[in-house]
Structure 1
C-alpha cells in the first residue's frame, strides 16, 4: 500500500462548513489541526475580528532574500527605480571584460525572488520587476545595481501589509496604459489593479503586441484587458461569496475620458476604426451592463503606479489606495 502526505492545507468557508469538512476528512486521513491560518506559502496572515480585517505580509520572505543576496546590512532605499533614469539594453555588457564582470552575478535569481513578492503581497514593486526582467538574458552592472536598490527598498518597507476589510466597497477596478514611452520598444503596456473591500486582489502589467497611435487607443485597449479580468473575478466571487455579485456591474476606473466615451457610445469611431475588433470587447461589456466605467483623476489612479518610476510621496499615496500600508 502506498501513502501520500501534504504539509499544509487551507480550508476556507463558513464555520459550519469548515468544521464539517475537517470532521469528515479526519475520518479518512491522519491530520493535525493547526487552527486559524497564520502562514501560507511564506505569506504571514493576521485576522482582526474586532475590526473585520485580514492582513497579509511577506516580511519574513523579504528577510530571507535579503540574507540570500548579502544585503541584510545594507542601507534601505526610499524609492524603487530612479525617476527619469530609464534602464536600457545599451547598459548591457558588450565587451569580454564587461561580460566577465557579470559572469557570477546572481541577477536572474534575484529577479526571480522579487517576482514572488511582486505577485504575492507587494504590487508596489511590480513595475520595477517588470522593467528589470527585460534584461535577464544579458544584464549589466547598472541593471544589477537597480535590482539591489529594489531589495533595499523592500528592506525599508518590510512592515507594509496588504489590508482587506477596512473599506466595505466591494470589488473595484483601475485601468491605465503606458503609451509608447519605453526606449526599448513602442508597444503599449496595459495595466490594471482590482481591489476587494480596499485591498488589492489582482494586478497585471502586459505588453500588448500592438503599437497604439494615440493615448485614447492605448487606454481603450487597456480597458479591454482589464474588463476580461473583471468579468472573470465576478464569476469567481459569485461562486465563493454570493451569486448576486454577477447581477451587478463592476465599477472600472480610467483616467482617460475619450477612452471611456468610446467604450460607452462608440463616439470616436471614425478616428478609431482601425482598432482590432477584439479590443471592442469593452464596448460589449458596457452595453451588456457587466462593466460600469467611471473617470478617475490621474493623481488618484492606483494603476499609475505600474506605468513608471515614481518619487516616494506619490508611491506611498498610490500604494495606500489599494490597501498597502503599515499597521
Structure 2
C-alpha cells in the first residue's frame, strides 16, 4: 500500500493533481456481521435480574477478529456503488474516470487519500463520503501515515519527510544525544548468528536491550521513505531471535546515521513518469547460510518508489547465478508495476516495456536466451520466468557499469562517496529550504 502511494505522488506532482485527505471516525463500527457473535454485558450496563444473559452483536465492534475485514467489505461495496473501480493489482486503490475528470481514492484502514484533477468532482466525492460515514475532513494532505508531505506546485515537485518520526524514535531509544554517523552500515563489518552473548554479563545486558522494538521502528522508516537504510535494516533484522552486543552496536549505528540524515527527504520532481529499474546481488555474503543478498530499486519522477534488499532463497554457486536470480525477482516486481500503471490510465508511457539495469554481463545474456548450459543447468526452473517476461516484452534487461548501478547500496556497504552519489540519484536529498 505504501508503494502505491509513492507511485501516485509523482504522478500527482507531474499532472498537478489535487491531493486531499480524510479520516473515517470509528471505522470498525460500520461493518456488518455474517456470523452470530455474543458478548458479555458491558460493565455498567447490566440488566437487573438478567445478569446471566449475554448480548448478541448486531454490528461489528472494535476487538473482533473480523472487524477490519467487515469494515473493508462495507467500504468496498459503498464506493463501488458510487462508480469507483477497484484496482485489480492493488485492492486499496480505487479510480473513477468520467471524460477528462479523474479521481483516485486510496484507503489505508481508516485513512483516505483523494487525488484528482477537478476540485468540483473531488468535493462531490468528499460530500458523498460524509453522508455514508462519519468523516473528518483534513483538507490538503500534509501528513500521510506519519510522513510529512511538502509540495511545490509551481515546480511540480513533492518531497516526503520523516524528520518528526526520526526524532521520536531517537528519543525512544535514548539516541538523541549520540554522535552523528556517516553511513548506515560500516564497510567491512560482518554480522552472523554466531555472535550471540558470550558470557553472563553480555546476556544480562542484551536482556535489557529493546532490540526487536528498535529494529521494528527502523523497519517502518525504511518501508516508508528511507531506502538508504534498507540494506542495514535487513542485516540486523536477521538476528532478532538471539542478538548479541555486535548486533546492537549495528542497530545504534543506523540510529546515528538517521540523526545526521533526518532532514533528507524523498523527492519526486514530476516530469518524466517512465519507470526505471536497477537490480544487483552480492555473492554468498551471509556467513550463516552462504546465501547472497539481492537488491532492486525502481524510480519514477526522479525518486525511488519501490525498493528491496533480501536474502535469496537459494545458494548461488556463481556471481552470474546470483545476479540472474536477482534480475528475476526485479522483473516480477516490474510486471506488477507496469500493470498497475496501465490500470491507472493516466501515464501515457505505461504500455512501454520497463528497462531494468544489471551490472553482470552473464545474467543479461542469460535473460535473453540460455548460455553456457554446463554452468547454469542447475538453476531452479522458477527463475527462468525471467526469460518469459523478457520475451513477451514486459521488461528488457540492460547492462550497466557497477559504479552506476543504483541497486548497489541494497546489497553491500559502500564507501562514503559512492553511497552519497546513489542517494542523490534515488531522490534522497536535503530539502529543508522548503520548510
> Which range, TM-score by smaller chain?
over 0.9
Distance 1:267 1:311 in 2: 34
TM-score when normalising by structure 2:
0.71
Structure with greater strand share of residues: 2
Unpaired segments of 5 or more residues in structure 2?
Answer: 1-24, 28-108
User: What residue number does 1:65 align with?
Assistant: 169
- Name whichever of 236-245 and 138-147 sits farther off: 236-245
* Residue 115 (structure 2) aligned to one of 9, 12, 18: 12
Distance 1:305 1:167 in 2: 26
Distance 1:271 1:143 in 2: 37
Distance 1:285 1:176 in 2: 18
Structure with greater helix share of residues: 1
User: What residue number does 2:198 align with?
Assistant: 94
Distance 2:366 2:260 in 1: 43
Distance 1:54 1:29 in 2: 30
Higher relative contact order (CA 8 A, sep 6+): 1
1:120-171 deviation per Cα after TM superposition (whole angstroms, max 9, x unaligned)? 1100001111111112111111211211111011011001111112551511
Distance 1:66 1:243 in 2: 39
- Measured on the aligned residues, the alpha-carbon RMSD in Å equals 1.8
- Name whichever of 180-189 and 37-46 sits farther off: 180-189
- Name whichever of 18-27 and 253-262 sits farther off: 18-27
* Residue 312 (structure 2) aligned to one of 208, 213, 235: 208
2:359/2:405 contact within 8 Å kept: yes
Which structure would you say has the larger Rg?
2
Distance 2:378 2:134 in 1: 62
How far did residue 321 of structure 1 move?
A: 1.2
Matched, 1:145 2:284: no
User: What residue number does 1:74 align with?
Assistant: 178
2:294/2:410 contact within 8 Å kept: no
2:180/2:256 contact within 8 Å kept: yes
Matched, 1:123 2:145: no
2:327 partner SS = helix
Distance 1:308 1:91 in 2: 20
1:237 partner SS = helix
TM-score when normalising by structure 1:
0.94
Matched, 1:50 2:154: yes
Matched, 1:103 2:207: yes
* Residue 354 (structure 2) aligned to one of 240, 250, 260: 250
- Name whichever of 21-30 and 99-108 sits farther off: 21-30
Unpaired segments of 5 or more residues in structure 1?
Answer: none
Distance 1:14 1:177 in 2: 41
Q: How many residues align?
A: 325
Change (3 A) 1:166 1:244: closer
Distance 2:267 2:383 in 1: 33
Change (3 A) 1:169 1:4: closer
How far did residue 268 of structure 1 move?
A: 3.2
